[in-house]
Structure 1
Amino acid sequence: MQKVIHFGLDITGRIAPETAGRAAFRLFSTTPPRRPGSRKARRALELSKPAMATAKKLGLRTGGGTVSTWYFPALANKSPETVLVAHGWGSRTEYMLDIIHALQNSGKAVVAVDLPGHGGSTGRTLNMALAVEAIDAAWRQYGPFSVMLGHSFGGAVVLNAAIGSVNDFEPRRPDRLVLISAPNSLPGVFAWFADRMGLRAASRRSLYDRVKEVTGQPLDSFVGTLQLAELETPTLVIHDPQDREVTADNARAFATAGSHVEVLWAEGYGHRRILKAPGVLQAVVQFAGRNDRAEAA
């Protein structure tokens, strides 16, 4: 299938490079099927049903459709801070339950967002503008959030929501950020995709220009290191040094943004199992509770 797409984009790019670039952007933004492909994934969703039933589900209307949100109440805290949790590409709230439960048990309320085209949300398209709009809708309904946490693409999303990188949406700045296995450079991701699709130079420029049309900002402005340096929000970056999907160079780049960024290396957990690692859960809870400890002192 990829060879067919590659061939089609190449032929179109010779004749109408702008059309090829736009087609590539649509392909880049198309979300994977919601139904889990493996028996293990289906079993995980089935086992998550009791925990998901404890949350209050609320659909929020956006320009792109309806975004599903899940409110998990704090345990044993009548006046909790609220943490926002965002999953990665091809994922959903159910796969973030270990972190959600750890935060609940520490006395935090948690709002989890199914990004557009994922989980219970509508659509089959996701890009940074749609994702930031989803976070903005959650902030207006439940915010402000003391912490915003994102895994993989969700990490890039919460960072961009915090800095207000998308036109028409104001910055939604929490007290702290947590970025788990997150990509640093969206220009790098787009360049990888353009190479994979074999796009010619003119088609590649059209693909990149589409980012500005959608977000109001040029692609080269979506670099996490520069955004974090400007934001100066205390940030915990968690990454496996052997992550094969989002390489450790991304975490190292984040670390150069300033002294407000700290990196935790979670070796041996990969890109997804890192969300269940005991040391990671403990670090997230401790980082999320820093203001609580300061007030108690």
Structure 2
Amino acid sequence: MKKIQFFIITKSIGLYLNALSYINLEEAKNKAYQLFSQPRKGRIKKEKLPKTLQNATHETFEYQTEKFQTYIWHGTRGGAERSEANEEAILLVHGWESNASRWKKLLNHLKPLGRTIIAIDGPAHGLSDGKEFNAPKYAEYINVLTQKYQPKTVIAHSIGGAAISFYLNKYKNHNFEKVVLLGAPSEFKILSDNFINLLSLNNKIKAKLEDYYFQKFNIHIDDFSGHKFAESFTQKAFIAHDTEDNVVLIDEGRKYASAWKNAIYIETNGLGHSMHDADLYQKIIDFI
């Protein structure tokens, strides 16, 4: 029943936007992009902060007119907690309609390493400002954070992985030594086409959206590809993707694996897109 309702709603929205495109194509494009870029879930409230994040040190950064939230678990040495991030800091980057609390299970595996762990709330997620979420904007948040803390390792899930790929391609940060990608999409065009097909939007809106992406991100949609970026990456990578991921298909993980020169690639079965699994997390710890 829910699938039928979802189908009716999405196709009704598409029908409305298609009709609007013949009257005001620019407005139809704007409304379509708004639907594409604004998450419906992933926000949290300070008064209802998940316990995982309550135990962290909170630090707020600024990017242009927006503020974004980070959470820090300081590393320990000899049983003494450090007040600043150590030289082996690990950055955690969540995906679409999520927030830093998604790392709860992985944190239990990471903390015994004694390294400082930094998790970020992406644009329009968690406690961060904004209404719009996209990989390039996420990459700018990451750039602001890494200028201060310079983590050596990054672990990213879903579109967080696409943001890291975009960031590494743009800023050439060689301070990162190890990159972990979990269920990460590679080609932005696939994400855009899936959205177009979901709503059955016409070719006029599709072309207008793709032109808007080029103006906004200064990169053609066909070149907005994580695995193409990865061809020049020198960091060691651990790439994992699940064969039953119906959000980001397995082919995307395989593209990363074939392009990244220094990568370990594994395929899991039955974890879906979330990829929460103790055995997988242990492999990540071994890699780090």
TM tier relative to shorter chain: 0.7 to 0.9
1:1-297 matches, within 5 Å, as 1-34=9-42, 48-49=50-51, 51-76=52-77, 79-142=86-149, 144-164=150-170, 170-173=171-174, 174-272=176-274, 274-275=275-276, 277-288=277-288
- 8 Å Cα contact 2:11/2:200 also seen in 1: no
Shift of 1:199: 2.0
Shift of 1:127: 1.5
SS in 1 for 2:72: strand
What CA distance in whole angstroms lies between the structure 2 residues aligned with 1:93 and 1:247? 23
> Residues 193 and 64 from structure 1, CA distance in 2 versus in 1: closer, same or farther, beyond 3 angstroms?
farther
The AA in structure 2 aligned to 1:151 is H
- 8 Å Cα contact 2:66/2:129 also seen in 1: yes
- 8 Å Cα contact 2:61/2:67 also seen in 1: yes
Residue number in structure 2 paired with 1:167: none
- 8 Å Cα contact 1:74/1:80 also seen in 2: no
Q: Deviations over 1:112-135 (max 9, x none)?
A: 000011111112211123211111
> Residues 97 and 64 from structure 1, CA distance in 2 versus in 1: closer, same or farther, beyond 3 angstroms?
farther
The AA in structure 2 aligned to 1:89 is W
Identity %: 23
**TM-score of the two chains, using structure 1 as the length reference:** 0.84
Shift of 1:141: 2.6
Q: Deviations over 1:232-277 (max 9, x none)?
A: 32211111111122111111111210441221222222211x23x1
SS in 1 for 2:76: coil
RMSD over equivalenced CA pairs, Å: 2.1
What CA distance in whole angstroms lies between the structure 1 residues aligned with 2:232 and 2:30? 31
What CA distance in whole angstroms lies between the structure 2 residues aligned with 1:160 and 1:122? 21
Shift of 1:80: 4.5
**TM-score of the two chains, using structure 2 as the length reference:** 0.87
**Residue ranges of structure 1 left out of the alignment (5+ in a row):** 37-41, 165-169, 289-297
Q: Deviations over 1:19-40 (max 9, x none)?
A: 322321121011114468xxxx
Q: Deviations over 1:205-232 (max 9, x none)?
A: 1111221222221211211211111223
**Residue ranges of structure 2 left out of the alignment (5+ in a row):** 1-8
What CA distance in whole angstroms lies between the structure 2 residues aligned with 1:149 and 1:140? 17
SS in 2 for 1:131: helix
Count of aligned residue pairs for this structure pair? 271
What CA distance in whole angstroms lies between the structure 2 residues aligned with 1:188 and 1:25? 15
The AA in structure 1 aligned to 2:113 is S
SS in 1 for 2:59: strand
Residue number in structure 2 paired with 1:293: none
What CA distance in whole angstroms lies between the structure 2 residues aligned with 1:64 and 1:210? 22
The AA in structure 1 aligned to 2:282 is Q
Residue number in structure 1 paired with 2:4: none
SS in 2 for 1:230: coil
- 8 Å Cα contact 2:63/2:141 also seen in 1: yes
Shift of 1:83: 1.1
